Amino acid sequence: MPQQASQRRSLLQEARCQTCSLSSLCLPLALELEDMGQFDAIIRRRAPLKKGEPLFRQGDLFTSVYAVRSGSLKQTTSEGNGNDQLTNFYLPSELVGLDGIDESYYPGSVIALETTTVCEIPFDRLDTLSEELPELRGQLYRSMSKELKDDRRMMRLLSRKTADQRLASFLITLSDRFRRRGYSPFSFRLSMSRADLGNYLGLAVETVSRILSRFQQQEVVAVSGREINILDMPRLITLAEEEEQAVTPR
């Protein structure tokens, strides 16, 4: 993922909502400065996770949700037998662990894809605080609702789209998420492996690799390892939607 400069600055210092550059995207989005102080007070600092380290594991007791501060993570669910399903990638300002509320344990493991820092938000305190702060409550409802909406989009992708469309859609979505966070929407680094990508998109690794090669050949994107350059966004959008649907009138 783009630059993790200032890695060395004191994390405790950085970890205050009032000074956090993500506060306009994150949970306290809608809060007044003084309310933000209250919210800030319930947050727990965590040591940065190294690549491959789990934030929590499937089956762990649910206690907190987490806001991603820097880096990225993946969520996977295992179903007894070997094969896991990767259900989500999380980028800075996104909220992790909301699907653990229902059963009071986490239904999937969440693992850092690179060095990653998060803010831990104990859920019982968040709930209590949301009683007093309607804006916070609203934001929490919205976060969950947005995730529901995104899930529906993902189901559509998995059930109706071809492999080409899936890759194109994924790149567009990622590009958009970077843009919203102030990074270049055209040039970025994937923090996940091709295997992760395939698992997430419901494709074999080989298929992912092949399609990326083809996109590159068609000069839609330039791919160099995990470095991505979107060269022709309009074309990519077309690819995501219609898949060469040959102009069949009617």
Partner DNA sequence: CGAGAATTTGAGTTTTGTCAATGATCGTGG
Partner DNA sequence: CCACGATCATTGACAAAACTCAAATTCTCG
Q: Which is nearer to its own copies, 15 or 133 (CB)?
A: 133
Sign of CA dihedral 216, 73, 141, 42: negative
34 near its own copies (CB under 8 A): no
Of 50, 57, 146, 214, the one binding its own copies (CB under 8 A) is: 146
Our finding on whether 40 is near its own copies (CB under 8 A) is no
Q: For residue 11, give the nearest of 42, 58, 43, 54 by alpha carbon.
A: 43
Contacts of 76 (CB under 8 A, 6+ apart): 58, 84, 85, 86, 87, 108, 109, 111, 199
Say whether residue 24 binds its own copies (CB under 8 A): no
CB of 175 to DNA, least distance (A): 18
> Which residues have CB under 8 Å from 83's CB, separation 6+?
none
The distance of Cα 45 from the centroid of its chain, to the nearest Å, equals 20
Q: How, if at all, do strands 44-45 and 95-96 pair?
A: unpaired
x/- letters, 160..189, toward DNA (CB under 7 A): --xxx-------------------------
Picked from DNA, its own copies, none, the partner binding residue 149 (CB below 5 to 8 A depending on kind) is its own copies
Contacts with its own copies: how many residues (CB under 8 A)? 47
Q: Footprint of its own copies on this chain (CB under 8 A)?
A: 77, 79-81, 83, 85, 87-88, 98-103, 107-108, 127, 130-131, 134, 137-138, 140-149, 151-156, 158-160, 199-202, 241-242
